[in-house]
Amino acid sequence: MQDKIKKAIEENRTTITSLLLPESTDLIKKVAGKITKSIKSGGKTIVFGNGGSAADSQHMVAELVGRFKKERKAIPAIALTTNTSTLTALSNDYGYDIALKRQLDALGKRGDVAIGISTSGTAKNVIAALAAAKKKRLVTIALTGRDGGKLKSIADISIVVKSKDTPRIQEAHILIIHILCELIENSL
């Protein structure tokens, strides 16, 4: 058991350390700038994903709408995974693959930022929603892992965590989200 604990911690450290490369830090800074610009011009941030990525979406929105480290005005943000009535109705009536897309169609407008989170980059509903966001001319961001999957090629900016292990990717995603929230909060 001790070896498993140490192995998980070492894998986490290796994955997190990979984010120190300029290719990642530059992208994180760029994403924070896009979100800040959107907020300053009256836009909002729309975040979505499945499972743990849905939880990360909701976590990010809570930090933006509430506060991260400072008392400040609320920042407009929505997680598309929080309204179970809408999710289940859309999934039942149209299919799960477009349940997020349909919400994005209703809520997204030009000047907003859409952030799709998928550890594999292959979640069909996240891809469909991000593609819809791009069509509506939102700024599109992908947080992925592995090789970025199809989601990477759709997004304006893709931050790909260099790992094939879902838990390590999710751990890196939450760090990226916390960094983004801090940068955004400090910029406002």
CA of 19: how far to CAs of 13, 49, 165, 172, 179, in Å? 10, 21, 15, 8, 11
Domain ranges of the chain: 2-187
Q: What is the pLDDT of residue 167?
A: 97
Nearest by Cα to 129 from 166, 184, 90: 90
The mean pLDDT of 135-144, rounded to a whole number, is 98
Nearest by Cα to 134 from 104, 161, 160, 96: 104
Encoded tokens for 99 = 């349940």
- Mean of the per-residue pLDDT values for the chain? 96
Encoded tokens for 156 = 């304006």
Predicted TM-score (pTM) of this structure: 0.96
Class (C level, CATH) for 2-187: alpha beta
Q: What are 48-69's pLDDT values in tens digits?
A: 999 999 999 999 999 999 999 9
Q: What is the pLDDT of residue 135?
A: 96
